[in-house]
Amino acid sequence: MNRRRVVITGLGVISPSGNDVETFWESLKQGKSSIGPITKFDTSDFDVKIAGEVKNFDIKKYGFPFMLTRQLDEFTHYAMAATKMALDDSMINLEMVDRTRMGVFAGNCLGGVGFGEKELYNLYREGWQCVSPYQSISWFYTAPQGQISIFYKLKGYSKTFVADRISSDVALGYAYQSIMLNRLDTCLVCGTEAGVFPYGMSLFSSSDVLSKKRDASYCPYDLKRNGMILGEGAGTLVIEELEHALKRNAPIYGEIISFSNNCDGVHHKEKNKNGKKYKEVIESCIRKANISYDEIGYINLDGAALWEDDVIETNVLKEIWGKEIGAVSLSCPKSMFGNTFGAAGALDAIINCLAIKNNTVPPTINYEDQDSNCDLNYTPNKALHRNINTVLQIARGRGGINSAMLLREFKE
């Protein structure tokens, strides 16, 4: 089968570190933390006090009709804003595109919890008559995919993925495969999350994955790590078949060359402590790309900041690369803005595009006290300038789902 090449031509970002690509990247280069005390609600009754919140966001700035945006949850607002940015960045003329060959692939974890929380409150206090008629469409996981498809009149094969922290990793991977195998020519890939609400925070807090520290630090691989810090935001990428992009002289950030995902197949409380399936998914991704391990210059890490998970990830990399892992740059940029769960994979992919473009590895911040079991070079606290041609993006989700993706500098 003739496999078509797939490139990334547009980027859009809404994040705690900035609401456009340039601000986002500049913040990461500087190693700036965008995590702080939660301001969206009173946390007095919550163990978790800090998060990566999106600041100064106003959906009205992006030109969408008020009669549309009033029906939508914030996670769809973020997705639509990031998508508009990505389309503008790609310079694509939708009037010249076959919209039956253009799809929308989206990932999220919580759906529209903010809108849903408000309407549950209305139901409890005022009765069913006071529940918004838009509740049924605003909370649902597929809302971003559906609203983007409708607004831009896109009619191609589309999907929404709900896969914990790798939701948008999988969305990007399956969009890549859909273009590669000639089902689509162009795709909008979006990851989005807006969970900094009491209900959303309760869902995450009950699973004991969030840090309960009161200082504003997310510190993967550090000796003092004790959990993730929740972030929110959205990232959208425009991806295209290579010839489709070249014909319209599109800007090209990089080429996706491989994707793999698998499952541990064990109960989440009995996580695969030897990292066997995580190792397998990384090796499978590299094997599919038909490249050597030493071609990979940068690995964008999962960085769960959970005690066992960081050790497992470190050991897996040692097992695969051996002593040669020292030649590869590693980092977890989400330490600067939080783990955005459904948006994490899309934001990681955007970071990887910018790392290649600028030959810069963003740092892992808050790395101060080394754990002897996490003893690799995670690019601590300060960005590193180096030549980067190929980036490996790896991630895991609760319940034992793993993914790996390779992005390479574009060369004809």
Residues 249 and 291 in one domain: no
Residue 31 in domain: yes
DSSP for 331-353 reads E-GGGGT-B-GGGHHHHHHHHHH
pTM higher than the cut 0.85: yes
Residue type, 82: A
Domain that holds residue 266: 256-408
What is the residue-level pLDDT of the chain in tens, covering all 412 positions?
A: 578 999 999 999 999 999 999 999 999 999 999 999 999 999 999 999 999 999 999 999 999 999 999 999 999 999 999 999 999 999 999 999 999 999 999 999 999 998 888 878 878 888 888 888 888 888 999 999 999 999 999 999 999 999 999 999 999 999 999 999 999 999 999 999 999 999 888 888 777 889 988 777 899 999 999 999 999 999 999 999 999 999 999 999 999 999 999 999 887 666 667 899 999 999 999 999 999 999 999 999 999 999 999 999 999 999 999 999 999 999 999 999 999 999 999 999 999 999 999 999 999 999 999 999 999 999 999 999 999 999 999 999 988 899 999 999 999 8
Residue 182 in domain: yes
Q: What is the CATH number of the domain that holds 372?
A: 3.40.47.10
Q: How many CB atoms lie within 10 A of CB 75?
A: 32
Residue 1 in domain: no
Q: Tokens at residue 142, please? A: 């597929």
Residues 152 and 10 in one domain: yes
Q: What gap in Å lies between CA 375 and CA 174, rounded to an integer?
A: 34
Domain end among 220, 254, 288: 254
Residues 82 and 71 in one domain: yes
Residue 21 in domain: yes
Number of domains in the chain: 2
Q: What gap in Å lies between CA 343 and CA 210, rounded to an integer?
A: 17
Q: What angle do CA 207, 365, 23 make, to 5 degrees?
A: 100
Residues 30 and 174 in one domain: yes
Residues 305 and 231 in one domain: no
Residues 17 and 77 in one domain: yes
Domain end among 219, 254, 289: 254
Residues 294 and 164 in one domain: no
Q: Whose structure tokens read 């609400």?
A: 197
Q: Nearest CA to 4 among 176, 189, 237, 251?
A: 176
Domain end among 254, 269, 291: 254
